Chain A
Amino acid sequence: MLLRFPAAAQESPFFVTYTHHMEEPGNLDLEFSTTNGVPRSDQRAYVAPYIELEYGVTTRWTSELYLESQSTSGDSAVFTGWRWENRYKVLGREHWINPVLYIEYEDLNEASRIQKEIEGGGPDLTSPNALLTPTRDHELEGKLILSSDYHDWNISENFTLAKNFSQSEGIEFGYAFGVSRPLGTLSSARDCHFCRENFSLGAELYGGLGSTLDFGPHNAAHYFAPVISWTVSDNSTIRLSPGFGLTHETNPVLIRFGYTYEIQGFSQHVAKLFGSKR
Chain B
Amino acid sequence: MSKVGFLGLFATLLATPAFAQNPQYQPDPEWRPPVETVARKNPLTARPELAGGGRKLFIRNCAECHGRDGAGMEKKHSADLQLPVVQQQSDGTLFWKITNGNAKRGMPSFSKIPELQRWQIVLYIRTLKPVQTSE
Contacts and interface: CB of A to CB of B under 8 A. Distances in A.
A191 B56 CA distance: 8
Nearest to B57: A187
Interface residues of B, number: 28
B21 interface: no
B130 interface: no
How would you classify the secondary structure of chain A's contact residues: helix, strand, loop or mixed?
Answer: loop
Contacts of B111: 21, 94, 149
Interface in B98-135: 99-101, 103, 106-109, 111-117, 120
Contact of B60 (A8, A22, A59, A188): A8
Given A12-B112, A191-B56, A6 B117 contact: no
Interface in A177-227: 182, 185-191, 197
Contacts of B8: none
B114 A182 contact: yes
A234 B60 CA distance: 7
Contacts of B99: 94
A59 B120 contact: no
Given A185-B114, A186-B117, A189-B52, A6 B57 contact: no
A6 B60 CA distance: 8
Contacts of B109: 21-22, 59, 93-94
Contacts of B56: 187-191
A58 B107 CA distance: 9
Contact of A186 (B50, B63, B107, B112): B50
A136 interface: no
Contacts of A138: none
Nearest to A23: B108
A278 B76 CA distance: 9
A123 interface: no
B117 A21 contact: no
Interface residues of A, number: 33
A25 B113 contact: no
Interface in A222-278: 234, 264-265, 278
A100 to B, nearest CB: 12
Given A59-B106, A187-B56, A189-B53, 8 more contacts: A59-B107, A60-B103, A182-B114, A186-B53, A186-B116, A187-B117, A188-B52, A234-B60
Interface of B: 50, 52-57, 60-61, 63-64, 75, 99-101, 103, 106-109, 111-117, 120
Interface of A: 6, 8, 10, 12, 19, 21-22, 24-25, 56, 58-60, 92-94, 149, 151-152, 154, 182, 185-191, 197, 234, 264-265, 278
17 contacts: A10-B61, A19-B112, A21-B109, A21-B112, A25-B106, A59-B101, A59-B107, A59-B108, A60-B103, A152-B114, A182-B114, A185-B117, A186-B116, A186-B117, A187-B53, A187-B57, A278-B75
